[in-house]
Amino acid sequence: MIGRLSGTLAAVQPPLLLVDVQGVGYEVLAPMTTIFELPQLGQAVQLHTHLAVSETAQTLYGFIRDADRQLFRTLIKVNGVGPKMALAILSGLDGTALSRCVAEDNVGALVKVPGVGKKTAERLIIELRDKLAPQFGDANDIPLMAAAAPKVDHAGEAESALAALGYKPTEATKMVAKASKEQPDADSATLIRLALKSMAPA
């Protein structure tokens, strides 16, 4: 079991990260809440990891904080919620927002997450009600990733990242277009953040 990675951040292509650990590159899937807090490329990074093993793949998931990893592990124990859905949930809702959704029985906010239907949202609320402690701080001021190099298709990168999280291509395009109108000169990380924020509960 790989529980932690400490190395150099070699590449970021949301939700995929590449972490170089003494010459070995580890591919790690991370929620956007973690990606927004990553250092610049080439700098040291430490991730708390969870290894998911299936019949067809071994996938490593990474998180800046151990509390986020624990929340991920709590989510995948809910019937009908796999690692991919848990990743999408934690990309659209940080721990504080998810706790609020559960406390307020906010099914509407949860069904905005790709792949989460009404029955799954209701099951999440029931099963998480006694498991989520008020341990998550206010994450409204999450630092952004460093801006990408010039001449990058930021909108395209943002759409690809949202699609990788499970949003339909047409939905991702609309979300990014709306974010682009809000901040025309935004980089891909900012567009993703604005798009996800528009889907989060008020």
Per-residue pLDDT of 140-164, as tens digits, reads 433 333 333 344 678 888 888 888 8
Contacts of residue 67, Cβ cutoff 8 Å, sequence gap at least 6: 95, 135, 136
* Number of other CB atoms surrounding residue 127 within 10 Å: 17
CATH 1.10.8.10, the chain: domain bounds: 154-199
- Span of 43-47, 83-87, 123-127, 186-190 with lowest mean pLDDT: 186-190
Collapsing DSSP to helix, strand or coil, 18 comes out as: strand
Ranges for all domains in the chain classified under CATH 1.10.150.20: 66-128
Q: Where in the chain is the domain with CATH 2.40.50.140?
A: 4-63
Q: Cβ–Cβ contacts within 10 Å for residue 136, how many?
A: 18
Tell me the average pLDDT of the chain: 85
Residue 169 banded pLDDT, cuts 50, 70, 90: confident
Asked if 94 and 139 touch (Cβ cutoff 8 Å), the reply is yes
How confident is the model over 111-118, as a mean pLDDT?
89
Return the CATH fold of 154-199.
Answer: Helicase, Ruva Protein; domain 3 (1.10.8)
Rounded to 10°, the helix 169-182/154-164 angle is 140
Instruction: Give residue 136's pLDDT band: very low, low, confident or very high (50, 70, 90).
Output: very low
- Pick from 100, 128, 85: which is nearest to 202 by CA? 100
Give the global pTM.
0.72
Confidence band of 21 (pLDDT split at 50, 70, 90):
very high
What local confidence, expressed as pLDDT, does residue 139 receive?
Answer: 37
Under the banding of pLDDT at 50, 70 and 90, the label for residue 188 is confident
DSSP annotation of 113 reads: S
pLDDT for the residue 200:
67
- For 134, the token pair is 């008020």
For residue 89, pLDDT beyond 50: yes
* Average pLDDT of span 25-44: 95
Domain 66-128 bears CATH identifier 1.10.132.20: no
CATH of region 4-63: 2.40.50.140
